[in-house]
A = this chain, B = another copy of it.
Amino acid sequence: MDTKIEFLFLNEEDMIKAGVLDAGHCVDTVGEVMSLLSSGDYLMGGKEHNDHGMQLIFPKKSDIPGFPLEDSRDRRFMAMPAYLGGRFHLAGEKWYGSNGRNAKKGLPRSILMVTLNDVETGQPLAYMSANLLSAMRTGAMPGLSAVYLARKDSKVLALLGAGVVNRTSLMAIMAKMPGIEEVRIKGSSPTSKTAQELMEFAKDNYPQLKEIKICGSVEETVTGADIISEAVSVAPHKWPEIKPEWIKKGCLIISSGTVDVDYEFTKKHITKVVDNIGMYEEYINVYQEYDEAGKPVSMGVPGMAYVNMISEGAIKKEEVQHLGAIVRGVEPGRSSEDEIIMISLGGMPILDVGWGYECYKKALEKGIGTKLKLWDTPFMA
């Protein structure tokens, strides 16, 4: 019996060679993944199969000297396991550590790795640098959302947040929406270096754009935009607010980070779409905060607000549409040119497994990466 196990290690350079930055292909792939989600051909963690992942939650303080604290932005570790069916038919997980202080060291805020596993034996097939993988699959979801939910004649794209997620969102949206003429960028400040860099990136890569500008306020950024892509990571309850009067008729709001949109306005005047309602139900269990009267406060995540609206009986669960069901044609998506739609995107490990598999396949075809041997014969079997 051949019991030798080898797997492929792909570092960041290998991943680039294996096509991880191909935004159009990535949008198509996450579309497939959303279809599989909608038809139930997947598993994520937990009893309900829908957990985003398992987090190491650092405390705000500790009596133990040197204990790691939640003392910088996004400080956490997260394990995100999944099985993805269809032609993918493999298991995998993303494991990452994140710390806002990394920026000072010239490092990305999160350092991510993805493992792909044979679903039958459990053996690793690939261990890959997942910073670009994760960024691209995250940006591909706004791209997919735009394809299915934005007006076809969308011209003005507003980017709230100028970090990695909105860079890859821009890549995905530009790959799929040829009518975009204007891009507006709102960074952490008008002079933000990342906002400048994102503007340069847009100029260099999308000569078809007639205007690219950095805006000083949320109002200036979103007013009149056809598509708003929000990807903001800030301290809790400090997220930006989009006021109802700034939202153009027919606008698509895509939330990948945290943002506030008036609860009552959302309830009555916005068509609600999510990637996976089960995930937001789980989020309520783990993350929802309540005011002194026991009422849920905004957590900046539209999908959590939708779950709260369902819980309080204000809307029916069926009113919240799923992107995957829209891709499959079993839910309507946009039904009028004037409709305002808001989609909440939370990030799911099935996306990492799906896009990881595409890169892995290409790496195998092209002979990219480092083959690593786990064992010739297991010491104990």
Contact = CB atoms under 8 A, between A and B. Distances in A.
Interface in A352-381: 370, 372-375, 377-381
A322 interface: no
Interface in A68-112: 68, 77-83, 85, 89, 91, 93, 95-99, 101-103, 105-108, 110-111
A122 B53 CA distance: 16
Contact of A97 (B91, B96, B164, B370): B91
Interface stretch (A126-134, A255-263, A340-348): A126-134
A179 interface: no
B97 A121 contact: yes
B54 A79 contact: yes
Contacts of A374: 11-12, 111, 129
A44 B67 contact: no
A312 interface: no
A212 interface: no
Contacts of A49: 56-57
A205 interface: no
A284 interface: no
Residue with the highest number of chain B CB atoms closer than 10 Å, among A9, A45, A99: A45
A67 B54 contact: no
A121 B115 contact: no
Given A131-B378, A379-B132, A123 B107 contact: yes
A40 interface: yes
A91 B375 contact: no
Interface in A11-60: 11-13, 16, 39-41, 43-47, 49, 51, 53-58
Residue with the highest number of chain B CB atoms closer than 10 Å, among A3, A95, A167: A95
A64 interface: yes
A10 to B, nearest CB: 10
A122 B380 contact: no
A67 B81 contact: no
A98 B123 CA distance: 9
A113 B124 contact: yes
A167 B67 contact: no
A229 interface: no
Contacts of A375: 11-13, 129
Contacts of A103: 381
Contacts of A82: 56
Interface of A: 1, 3, 5, 9, 11-13, 16, 39-41, 43-47, 49, 51, 53-58, 64, 66-68, 77-83, 85, 89, 91, 93, 95-99, 101-103, 105-108, 110-111, 113, 115, 117-124, 127, 129, 131-132, 135, 164, 167, 286, 370, 372-375, 377-381
